[in-house]
Amino acid sequence: MADLVSMPLQGDALWLVPTAGGQTSNPVADSSSGGAAAVHGAAPLPRAVEPAASPLIDLSGVSYTYDGEVSAVLAGVSLTVRPGEFVLILGPSGCGKSTLLHMMNGSVPHILNGKLEGDAVICGKPVATTTVAQFATEVGMVFQDPDSQIINTRVRDEVCFGLENLCRPPQEILARQAEALDQVGMAAFGDRSIFELSGGQKQRVSVAAVLASHPRLLILDEPTANLDPAGMAEVFAVLARLNRDFGTTIVMVEHRVDELADKVSRVVMMDRGTIVFDGPPREAFSSRRVMHSEEAEIIPTASWFPQASEFAIELAAVSGEALDPASLPLSADEAVGFCCGRRFAAERSGASPSSAATATATPHHPTVPLLSIAGLNFGYDRDAPILKAIDLDLSSNAIVALLGQNGSGKTTLARMLVGINQAPAGTIHLEGKDLSLLSAREIASYVGYVFQNPDHQFVTDRVDEEIAYGLQVRDYAPDVITTRVDDILDVVDLKRYRDRSPFSLSLGERRRLSVATMLVLEPRLLVLDEPTIGQDHERAEQLMGLMQRLRERYGTTILMITHDVRLVAEWADRALALVNGEIAFDGTPLELFNRADVLQAAGLLPPPIHAISRQLAARNPDSGLGPVLSVPDLVSALMATAGSALA
């Protein structure tokens, strides 16, 4: 039975059966957090649980070093979590967040081996002497990718599976699975095939499979990393309801905090294996904290902050006001309430209302586009097309975002551009050349493809050899290879690591190396598949800054497949939205986020700053305000209202 409980499945994931004594009420559900009432229109946050409650997580001076490593990934961590809390853990990549979560179900140190020091007690059991199977009756864990932990083909079978392994009575199993599916809002989905579900629905099934066993503690490691915004919102809403209505104790690592910040009761921030902040969310997001990258470099902004909080911080700074953390908004609605009744003096710099409020730049299409797609239809099954009547032109020197729900055809289209999927004759042209007539080598001279996981692209043992490989197989002269490799190493800031193994680099460095292997071939079009998935804020900014430099230096067009609407708002010139395999929208990001119908059909949400600016404009029609896509633009527009009180 224990083998079934901790059986490795796809990739590095473990399928863990979580069970044991659940709770049916939340002792803190009717309480409101200190300071929350100070925010106009703020939803109450749960209070900290009464100290008398016995902690589910009790860590004191915990350090952990993986086998074969010299440096500890956790260093002197002390953390207490009591029943009914909803804890969000944030921090830069490589700071020890995932290791900390894996300690909570015994994977560290019993599967991911290493040296554990200090006192670590989870659900009353010492981690050092409690196996994963023994923790499985107390702790439930949900991973990033639902497909890595779902092993049945029918929803009801998946939710029942853990209880069946534990030999629960049949009537109890059926009752618990029905209860769990109802808790995640999928009571009517029991007989549905897993393959018919969206990404968000699959992740909700994963949560239900855990909840069916009544875990005392629910652990989630970036559960929405692979989901579109609509799926993300589904999962967050379910977690908030579980915590609020059923008292489920939740500990979660997540980078996407805009829709989560107002749902958690507590935020823990980590840096270099230690906890540097532990407190309520309003205090956590009231100021930036200097942290460190995996390379030990100082970075000013490591974790994603709610954009509503960023807006309030910048607005207070520009207007010369002291910001009370108790009044800090965590959501778009709270940010609108934060502005109500305020009067703004003209900005010191004399900035006028942002032109972004009305900007509607039209994408430029040259006579012979870099890429031209006409009448493209494609499906792996002839009777079930994935792409339908795709017509698209891309010009040089642009950053284009490709958005849409999971399964809408984004990756299928991208793979056609690099020849992984064979394009029908006459439908795709690269600078006037029919893609179907080009060899793989010829296509690669035009188009580079960077996968989600950079490790999937490496084939050599040295950084410089990895970059040189594409040139060597194309029989470039040695002196040309040397010049190009040195040049690209400078561009991606990896020259000091040229002798290192690619796999010894940090995640951010490996991502830059994967881009470099494509750049050295000087492609005209670079396709990035979810470039910032699982990346902290600094890593995402670094990568997109690199894309901007490539565009300026080489005239490269960047086509990025992404669910990150804030990334699109900040960096993209143009946005494409796929809905059921068809292009439902082609225009500027601002135009896209102004189209509520397209957003709903494509499973997208507008960036919080767009929602804030749109609501303020609607409530103050004579103010000159309009929808914008950046915090500085909205702050400038507000300061230019010069003395008018906002409704």
DSSP labels, 269-295: EEETTEEEEEE-HHHHTSS---EE-TT
Domain residue limits at 419: 371-587
Q: Which amino acid is at 207?
A: V
Model-level pTM?
A: 0.82
Last residue of a domain, one of 285, 302, 319: 302
Q: Indicate whether 293 and 323 sit together in one domain.
A: no
Instruction: Determine the 3-state secondary structure of 594 from DSSP.
Output: coil
pLDDT of residue 544: 87
170 in any annotated domain: no
| Positive or negative: CA dihedral 233, 304, 14, 278 | negative
Q: How far apart are CA 136 and CA 213, in angstroms?
A: 9
Using alpha carbons, list the distances in angstroms from residue 292 to 276, 296, 300, 493, 538.
Answer: 12, 5, 8, 17, 10
99 in any annotated domain: yes
Q: Indicate whether 512 and 577 sit together in one domain.
A: yes
DSSP labels, 157-192: HHHHHHHHHTT--HHHHHHHHHHHHHHTT-GGGTTS
Q: Indicate whether 352 and 451 sit together in one domain.
A: no
Alpha-carbon torsion angle 413, 419, 424, 425, nearest 10: 130
Q: Indicate whether 61 and 96 sit together in one domain.
A: yes
Last residue of a domain, one of 302, 330, 350: 302
Q: How far apart are CA 80 and CA 77, in angstroms?
A: 10
C-alpha gyration radius of the chain: 25
22 in any annotated domain: yes
Q: Which helix (H) or strand (E) holds 208?
A: helix 199-211
Helices 170-183 and 155-165 sit at what angle, rounded to 10 degrees?
130
* Chain-centre distance for alpha carbon 633: 24
pLDDT of residue 469: 95
Number of domains composing the chain: 3
Q: Indicate whether 18 and 38 sit together in one domain.
A: yes
CATH (domain of 566) = 3.40.50.300
Q: How far apart are CA 126 and CA 120, in angstroms?
A: 6
Number of H helices, E strands in the chain: 22, 24
Q: Indicate whether 81 and 225 sit together in one domain.
A: yes
Query: What is the largest distance, in Å, between two alpha-carbon atoms of the chain?
Result: 74
Q: How far apart are CA 576 and CA 599, in angstroms?
A: 11
| Contact in structure between 592 and 609 (CB atoms under 8 Å) | no
| Contact in structure between 82 and 105 (CB atoms under 8 Å) | no
Q: How far apart are CA 521 and CA 291, in angstroms?
A: 35
Q: Which helix (H) or strand (E) holds 376?
A: strand 371-378
| Contact in structure between 250 and 87 (CB atoms under 8 Å) | yes
Helices 463-472 and 478-491 sit at what angle, rounded to 10 degrees?
130
Q: Which amino acid is at 83?
A: P
Q: Indicate whether 545 and 566 sit together in one domain.
A: yes
By residue count, the chain amounts to 647
Using alpha carbons, list the distances in angstroms from residue 339 to 208, 229, 308, 358.
Answer: 40, 26, 11, 21
pLDDT of residue 364: 44
Determine how β-strand 428-430 pairs with β-strand 371-378: antiparallel
Q: Indicate whether 267 and 296 sit together in one domain.
A: yes
| Contact in structure between 396 and 553 (CB atoms under 8 Å) | no
429 in any annotated domain: yes
Helices 537-554 and 478-491 sit at what angle, rounded to 10 degrees?
130
Q: Which residue carries 């009432």 as its tokens? A: 37
594 in any annotated domain: no
Q: Indicate whether 245 and 352 sit together in one domain.
A: no
Q: Indicate whether 465 and 568 sit together in one domain.
A: yes
Residues of the chain with pLDDT under 70: 1-52, 292-303, 344-368, 506-508, 534-536, 642-645, 647
295 in any annotated domain: yes
First to last CA, the chain: 62
464 in any annotated domain: yes
**Residue 296: what are its φ and ψ, rounded to 5°?**
70, 15
Q: Which residues are CB-contacts of 27 (< 8 A; sequence separation ≥ 6)?
A: 49, 50, 53, 83, 84, 247
Q: How far apart are CA 160 and CA 168, in angstroms?
A: 10
Q: Indicate whether 581 and 552 sit together in one domain.
A: yes
